[in-house]
Structure 1
Amino acid sequence: MQLPTLTGNGVNLSPFTQSDSLLVQSYAGDQMVAKTTQHVPHPYPDGVAEKWIAAHLTLYLEQRNITLAIRTLEGDLVGAINLGLKLNDQFAELGYWIAHKYWGQGYCTRASKRIIQYGFEELSLNKIYARHLGGNIASGKVMKKVGMTREGIQRQHTIKDGVLQDIVEYSILRSEYQLG
């Protein structure tokens, strides 16, 4: 069994390979990208990308997570997208990052729409939610564009780079997706 490849919406979502590790370290570790995410470190340590990529298949086989590379139709790596799965409860958490040089080009929205489709149609999820740091307005815009509804704010819920940050949560239900 292997991770799926999902195409459509002008993007290709496919498994990472170890040959992607240097770009992952460069793109995710970019200070502009790292400061917009809750768990991506800056600087991005050597060897972390390789370990992260190596864990993807195991987490998928354990039905805990599906992480895919966001690629252009030509195959260029743009970023990453994942669903943190809770299949017994029929929900997942959507997460993503996009390389800074690809910001504002619609890749995140298109990739999110495609993996949401997969979550509802292939995994039979009932709910997909996503969270962003309070200051990451662009991520909130993506969540709205894919049909998610803002559920609320967890005030000063996490610390990023030594600063307390709000977490803003959005979600979409299967019934809302089917209407969209």
Structure 2
Amino acid sequence: MKEFNTERLLLRELQQQDANDIYEYCSMKDVIDMIGMRLHSSIEITYKYISHEQKKSETLAIVNRKLNKVIGTVSLRKQYNDSNLDIRLISCIINPKYWGKGYAPEAIQQIIMYAFEELNVHKLLGGHYSFNLQSSAVNRKLGFVYEGTQREVYLYNGKLVDAVEYGMLERDYMRVSQNWK
């Protein structure tokens, strides 16, 4: 994926030197549980994660330009390889130190524009576990349309929780992007 600049962020390919910044939040159980990702119990796992993601070129580091620090990642992954439609899943993880500052919507909005305007995707998918209210707010803010709930698909702290799914078609994008700066 190419590199992007937003008002406050640089979205760029992951680099091995990002490991300490990524390990900082990927080693937090509460953060990882929010997205169902594997906990990074050592920095070596983070290095392997970066190498794996570099090969696929679907994940970008979210760099706070003012701090020159990786504060998260954003991914755009092709779904349904057997489909003749280009449908992609967009996901984002942000270090909790930077929650509530609008970084996730800023990064995701840039990737949405890229997906529809340059890649000409048919549809973007987004989703979250039912307890992840921050992701719910981001999806709604960006104009994703609620498409349904998969019941009891994830075990979180001994309880079964639901997965909430959203989608955005090109016509949805054309409607909501008029309000973006």
Who is 1:15 aligned against? Answer: 13
Superposition RMSD in Å: 1.7
- Which amino acid is 1:113 matched to? Q
Is residue 73 of structure 2 the alignment partner of residue 80 of structure 1?
yes
User: Of residues 100, 106, 109 in structure 2, which corresponds to 1:110?
Assistant: 106
* Percent identical: 28
CA deviation map 1:35-67 (0-9, x unaligned): 3111242x534412111111223213xxxxx10
Cα 1:40–1:144 change in 2 (3 A) is farther
Aligned residues of 1:38 and 1:160 also touching (Cα < 8 A): no
Shift of 1:143: 0.4
Cα 1:89–1:9 change in 2 (3 A) is farther
- Secondary structure of 1:36's counterpart equals helix
C-alpha separation between the residues in 1 aligned to 2:167 and 2:7? 20
C-alpha separation between the residues in 1 aligned to 2:48 and 2:153? 28
User: Of residues 47, 64, 69 in structure 2, which corresponds to 1:50?
Assistant: 47
Correspondences of 1:2-151 after superposition (within 5 Å): 3-41=1-39, 44-60=41-57, 66-74=58-66, 75-86=68-79, 88-151=84-147
Shift of 1:140: 0.4
Q: Structure 2-normalised TM-score?
A: 0.87
The number of aligned residues is 172
Aligned residues of 2:19 and 2:43 also touching (Cα < 8 A): no
C-alpha separation between the residues in 2 aligned to 1:40 and 1:102? 21
C-alpha separation between the residues in 2 aligned to 1:46 and 1:39? 15
- Which amino acid is 2:89 matched to? E
C-alpha separation between the residues in 2 aligned to 1:174 and 1:97? 24
**Stretch deviating more after TM superposition (160-169 or 140-149):** 160-169
Aligned residues of 1:71 and 1:79 also touching (Cα < 8 A): yes
C-alpha separation between the residues in 2 aligned to 1:57 and 1:28? 17
Who is 2:163 aligned against? Answer: 167
Structure 2: gaps spanning 5 or more residues: 177-181
